[in-house]
Structure 1
Amino acid sequence: MRPVLIFLGLVALGFFVALIIRGTEAQRLRRAWFRNTPLPRVQAEESLARHLMALKERFPHRTEAWYLKKVLSDLQRDRR
Structure 2
Amino acid sequence: MSQQKRKLEQLQRWMQTVISAPGGITAGIASEEAQREIPLLDHQLESVITRSSQQTSQERIGIYANAYYARLLE
TM-score of the aligned structures, taking structure 2 as reference length: 0.32
Structure with higher helix content:
1
Question: If you compute each CA radius of gyration, which structure gives the higher value, 1 or 2?
Answer: 1
TM-score if structure 1 supplies the norm length?
0.30
